[in-house]
Amino acid sequence: MQPVVMLLCDGRFPSGSYAYSAGMEHSVSWGDVADIATVREHLAGRLSTTGIMAAQVVAAASKLAAAPAPQRAAGLDALDTAVDARLAPAAARDTSREQARRWLRAASATWPEALRTAGDLLAGRHFWVVLGFATAALGIEPQDAAWAAIYDLASTPLWAASRLLGLDPFESAHVLAGALAHIAVEIHAVAREAVLAAEPLGNGIAGTEWISSIVAPLSDLAAQAHLEREERLFAS
């Protein structure tokens, strides 16, 4: 994975944990996350549930970048609808689209030539769909794009927790590395399978039943509850 792409998918990037906590703020307020040990458990649960879906969607969106224009748009529509169906809370869906807009703006400022034509096609779509398609335009392979999604999925709540709980940054970085290493083999397999499963999307066949429907109910509840908080530091 290119270092600059890792930066764009890092929780410390402006579209990451400076603006979003991915449910971590509410998990901390509930007492579910209180120290480095519970942060580690939170990340493990997130990666093994939402992480699988994210990796699949990103790898598929990346693969679609090489499809003919009509099939490309239809395939992205199908992926976007699939993400809608798997993000139960309206707050989570709204946050995903807003984060996509912010991320694409930052990425387009970094690589204006490569992403010049992507804006209209990606406008209003979910974050994982945008991330996959945009990184493909930058020459990133689908499997590396899936890893970028996993890195973002773990690092955003981790660095938010570090701010909320005052955790040691070096210990936090160690936890992040451990969480990613634990799921590495599975994500490589998920990305490969997603690329194969996305082939029909590039031919105008919009089946997305292969995308994981395993979700994290507590994260869904936290997303909606966070929206109703009177005071909050993060957008999610």
Q: Which residues of the chain have pLDDT under 50?
A: 17
**pLDDT score of 32:** 84
**pLDDT score of 80:** 94
**pLDDT score of 8:** 67
pTM over 0.95: no
**pLDDT score of 57:** 92
**pLDDT score of 128:** 92
**pLDDT score of 50:** 85
CB proximity list for 230: less than 8 A, separation 6 or greater:
none
Cβ neighbours of 85 (radius 10 Å) = 11
**pLDDT score of 189:** 82
**pLDDT score of 81:** 94
CA atoms within 13 A on the CB side of 134: 34
**pLDDT score of 63:** 86
